[in-house]
Amino acid sequence: MDAHAPGKHQQQQQTAFRQSEKLYSRRDKPLDLRNIIDFNDPDTLCARVAGVSRIQLTHDLETPPSLPFEAYRAKRLPAYALEAHPGLMIIPDALTDEAQRWLARKCLCDCARPPNRTNLDPFFEMPEESLFTLAHTPSSQRVAENLSEAPRTIHSRVESGSVQTDVTVPRSKAYTQAETPERLLGHLRWCTLGQQYNWTTKNYDLGTSPFDPDLNALMKSIALAITHPSTAANNLPYDANAFDGRLFCSQAGIVNYYGSRTTMAGHVDKTEETMDAPLISLSIGLSCIYLVGGPTRDTSPAAMYLRSGDILAMCGESRLAFHGVPRVFSDTCPLYLASPKAGVDDAEAANYPDWCHFGSYLANHRINCNARKCS
Ligand SMILES: O=C(O)CCC(=O)C(=O)O
């Protein structure tokens, strides 16, 4: 008998959410994809066996005036709700190629730098520039400060390998270890936006960075569009989002960077004082499986694909639902992002001179950018 295999008792004790996480994260067997909701597949959606309902946006997805491109593929895109998970809303493939490129650049170059915090801050003296920018700036073009070191290195404040759950205070200054931006970029997992979240105290008590105004405008335009969608056609017994989007503003957010083997364990985002406003979440790069359950881990979660360009909103009851990402799929990044030539042939080519670097990153990563109203 395999000493590490869970016994029958242990299996029974595993919550429904944990069982799904294990099912979809295992790599020793081919995945059973049959129960995953696929918003690209009309057959799954029409069958209604999965409890998916099409809902109607009653407001347009309007590109914020500050953005010099169309952000949405259309103003009234199909949106979906899950009957068993009231308040969860998905607008698949909503962001234009251009908006996705813009968002990738925003998340990699503008968001992941001070004063926003990253998972690496407790361990490294982080530079002013983002790791992505530094990693892809030819040394001859790096600012004078950086020219003295070749290759540029970033110094660790703690022994590498001693990553603790207490991420707020460096435990020791005894060790220094130099790392290059290129190597550290591979370890970038998240950065926090606006009110800085403290994973140790589970509070927003690490100060506030300005929330990027264009990113806020994009999030707000989504909040406006998803206000009171029409569910009448499906007789859904609830309002999928009763929050008036005019009152939305992004006060905090997280950008998550996933490699193809990164997962995010099930959790609830419940630090915000107000849970009335939707949590708005955008995906770019590789596809993933997203699980959404209920108020405890005992609710069996629904599994769905999230793909590049999808908008997901957790509104109403689902704002307090367990959710997580047990699986990211390699080789699923759309060509308009992954190809080094992406952006070269379209009208906006001039905005993407170095797209090859973004393309190689996105070909192997998923980026999730989410925003919340906290009070
Ligand atoms: O990556 C995702 O889609 C989910 C992210 C998430 O759950 C979080 O940041 O709290």
Both 140 and 264 in one domain: the answer is: no
Both 39 and 155 in one domain: the answer is: no
Q: How many residues does the chain have?
A: 375
The reported pLDDT for the residue numbered 116 is 98
Both 157 and 195 in one domain: the answer is: no
- Residue 358 domain-assigned? yes
Are the CB atoms for 55 and 230 separated by under 8 Å? Answer: yes
- Residue 3 domain-assigned? no
Strand (E) or helix (H) holding 276: none
Both 182 and 199 in one domain: the answer is: no
Ligand 1 atom nearest to CA at 254 = 9
- Residue 162 domain-assigned? yes
Are the CB atoms for 297 and 17 separated by under 8 Å? Answer: yes
- Residue 4 domain-assigned? no
Both 173 and 203 in one domain: the answer is: no
Ligand 1 atom nearest to CA at 258 = 1
Ligand 1, atom 7, residue with closest C-alpha: 324
Task: Read off the tokens for 239.
Answer: 């309002």
- Residue 2 domain-assigned? no
Dump pLDDT digits (tens) for 154-199: 777 644 333 333 333 444 555 567 788 999 999 999 999 999 999 9
Q: Which of 160, 187, 214 is at the close of a domain?
A: 187
* pLDDT, average across residues 252-256: 98
Which structural domain range is residue 355 located in?
9-119+188-372
For residue 55, what is the domain's CATH number? Answer: 2.60.120.590
Q: Which of 170, 187, 204 is at the close of a domain?
A: 187
User: 185 by DSSP, 3-state: which?
Assistant: helix
Both 230 and 332 in one domain: the answer is: yes
CB half-sphere exposure, 159, CA atoms < 13 A: 6
Q: How far apart are CA 327 and CA 258, in angstroms?
A: 10
Dump pLDDT digits (tens) for 97-125: 999 999 999 999 999 999 999 999 988 88
Q: Which of 153, 187, 221 is at the close of a domain?
A: 187
Which residues are CB-neighbours of 278 under 8 A, at least 6 positions away?
Answer: 89, 223, 226, 241, 243, 248, 313, 314, 315, 319
- Residue 203 domain-assigned? yes
Dump pLDDT digits (tens) for 297-343: 999 999 999 999 999 999 999 999 999 999 999 999 999 999 877 66
Dump pLDDT digits (tens) for 193-239: 999 999 999 999 999 999 999 999 999 999 999 999 987 666 677 78
Q: How far apart are CA 315 and CA 295, in angstroms?
A: 13
Q: Which residues approach ligand 1 with their CB closer than 6 A?
A: 254, 256, 264, 269, 281, 290, 323, 325, 368, 370
User: Which residues on neighbouring strands pair with residue 258, listed in sequence order?
Assistant: 366
Check residues 132 and 175 and name the one with the higher pLDDT: 132
Both 158 and 213 in one domain: the answer is: no
